[in-house]
Structure 1
Amino acid sequence: MIATTLVAFTLGGVTMWPFIRRLRDRLADAIWQLEHDPVTGLLNRAGLLVAYATLAEADNAGPIIVALIDLDDFKPVNDTHGHDQGDDVLAAIGKRIRDIAALHDGTAGRLAGDEYAALLPVRTHDVARIADTFVALISQPVELTADGEPVTVTVTASVGLALAEATDPFEEVALRRADIAMYHAKHHGRNRHTVYEPGMAMPAADGRRGPRLRDRRQLNDKATA
C-alpha cells in the first residue's frame, strides 16, 4: 500500500512538473512585462522607479545622474515610413541609449512615445561629456527597410541631465529637474544637452510642444484616483 502510494505520488509529481514549469515561466514573463517596454525591451516607467529605488538604497548610495532624452521631431518618421518602421527606429535608438547607460554602470528605459530616461550612478563629475555622448550617438543614421527598400533615417535628441541625491524622490524631484533641463535644450535649438542648475525653471510655453503622453497619463491617473 505504501509502495503504491509512493509510486502514485512520484508519477503525479512527474506529471505536474511540466505544468508547474509552464506556470513559473508565465509568471516570470508577466513580471517582465510589468517592468519593460514591449517595443524597445527597455525598462518602462514602473521599471525605472524600481531601478532608481535600487540605486538609492544601495549601501554605498551616492548621487545619481538622471538623463531625460526626447527625440526631436520624431513624428515625420512615422508619417513617412509607417509606425512599424518608426518602432524599429525607437528600438535602435533605445539600444544605443541602453549601451551608453551600461557603459557607466547604469540602466535605461522608455517613458512614453519618443521619450527615454537613463539612470547612472555618479562615477565621474564630467556630466556634460556623458550628455554629449547621448546626443552624438543618437544622431547617427539608422538603417531600416521600408516597402522592401533600404532606408536611412536620422533623428536627433534633446537631452536634459540632473544630479539627484539618493534621498530625492524620483518623479517629483529627479525626473522633474531633468525634464526642465531637457526643455531648455529644446528651447535653445535641439540636438543638444542642458544640465540642470539650481533655480532653473521651465522655459516659456512657446518653446514647448504641449502635454506629453506621460503627462496626460499622470493627469488621468489623478482624475480617476
Structure 2
Amino acid sequence: MSLPLIMIATTLVAFTLGGLTTWPLIRQLQHRLTDAIWQLEHDPLTGLLNRAGLLTAHTTLTTADDAGPIMAVLIDLDDFKPVNDTHGHDRGNDVLAQIGERIHDIATLHGGIAARLSGDEYAALLPVRTTDPARIGEIFVTLISQPVQLGADREPVTVTASVGLALVEATDPLQEVALRRADIAMYHAKHHGRNRHCSYEPGMAMPAAEHHRGPRLRDRGQLNSKATA
C-alpha cells in the first residue's frame, strides 16, 4: 500500500474510533439537556407543567392553525394548611400529587393541559367544546373532593377546592387576561362558600380585599418585576 493510501486509511480509522468514543458523550449531553428543559417547565412534585411550562403550552395551543376560544381554569384548594399541620408535609405532598393527577386526568379527557402554579394552586387550559363551563367546573369540584388515600394504615384525607373558569379568545394574553379572569372567578367561588365553581362574567370584579389569600395572581408578576428591578 502506498504511503498516501496508508495515511488516508489511518485518518479514517482514527476518525471512526474517535466517533465511537465521543458518541456516548454526545448522547449523555443530549439526555442532560432534555432533562434540564423538562425541569424548567415542570413541577417536580406533581410532574405537571409549572407556570413557565403553561405559558409555553398556551403559546403552542393558541398559535395552531385551528386555534379557537379556550377555557382557563384556576383551582385553589380550600384551607389546605390544616392537612400539613395534621398529617405532616410529606403526607401533604402526597395529597397535592394525587390532586394533581386528578386535575391532569380531567384536563386530558377534555383535550387540555394542566399545571401546578404554586403551593396548592393549579390551572388548566381547555379547548372550548361546550358553551356550558359550569359542567366542567362541577367535574373539577366533585372529583377533587373525593377522599385521598394515604395508605392502608391511615384515614383518607378530604380536601375541597374553589374553581374559577373564564372563556377567552386564543389571542388573549395568558397572564393578563385568561388567568386574571379565572382568578377573579375563583375568588368569587371562595367568597360564596368554597367547594364550588364560578364562571367569569363581563364586568365581574375582585371581591373585597379581606377575602383574598395573599397577592392575587394578576398582581404577582408586578411584585416579581419590582423585586428584580
Are 1:170 and 2:174 counterparts?
yes
* Structure 1 unaligned spans of 5+: none
1:167/1:217 Cα in 2 relative to 1: closer, same or farther (>3 Å)?
A: closer
Which residue in the other structure is 1:78 paired with? 84
* Contact kept in structure 2, 1:112 and 1:213, CA below 8 Å: no
Query: Once structures 1 and 2 are overlaid, which stretch shifts more, 209-218 or 111-120?
Result: 209-218
- Give the aligned residue type for 1:22: Q
Which residue in the other structure is 2:35 paired with? 29
Pairing of 1:68-107 with structure 2 (within 5 A) = 68-107=74-113
Cα distance in 1 between the residues matched to 2:206 and 2:58: 23
Are 1:194 and 2:216 counterparts?
no
1:108/1:62 Cα in 2 relative to 1: closer, same or farther (>3 Å)?
A: same
- Give the aligned residue type for 1:76: P
Which residue in the other structure is 1:112 paired with? 118
Cα distance in 2 between the residues matched to 1:143 and 1:20: 43
Which residue in the other structure is 2:26 paired with? 20
Are 1:139 and 2:151 counterparts?
no
Which residue in the other structure is 1:67 paired with? 73
Query: Once structures 1 and 2 are overlaid, which stretch shifts more, 155-164 or 210-219?
Result: 210-219
Cα distance in 2 between the residues matched to 1:141 and 1:212: 28
Cα distance in 2 between the residues matched to 1:212 and 1:82: 27
Which residue in the other structure is 1:3 paired with? 9
Which residue in the other structure is 1:151 paired with? 155
1:172/1:189 Cα in 2 relative to 1: closer, same or farther (>3 Å)?
A: same
Are 1:221 and 2:203 counterparts?
no
1:216/1:64 Cα in 2 relative to 1: closer, same or farther (>3 Å)?
A: closer
CA RMSD in angstroms comes to: 1.6
Q: Considering fraction of residues, name the structure with more strand.
A: 1
Q: 1:220: how far off?
A: 3.0
Cα distance in 2 between the residues matched to 1:205 and 1:152: 34
Cα distance in 2 between the residues matched to 1:82 and 1:212: 27
Match of 2:207 among 179, 192, 203: 203
- Give the aligned residue type for 1:20: I
The alignment covers a number of residue pairs equal to 223
Normalised by the length of structure 1, the TM-score is 0.95
Partner SS for 2:156: strand
* Contact kept in structure 2, 1:160 and 1:179, CA below 8 Å: yes
Q: 1:211: how far off?
A: 2.3
Highest Rg: 1 or 2? 2
Q: 1:55: how far off?
A: 1.4
Cα distance in 1 between the residues matched to 2:216 and 2:153: 32
Partner SS for 2:46: coil
* Structure 2 unaligned spans of 5+: 1-6
Cα distance in 1 between the residues matched to 2:217 and 2:195: 21
Normalised by the length of structure 2, the TM-score is 0.93
Q: 1:213: how far off?
A: 8.6
Partner SS for 2:130: coil
1:86/1:217 Cα in 2 relative to 1: closer, same or farther (>3 Å)?
A: farther
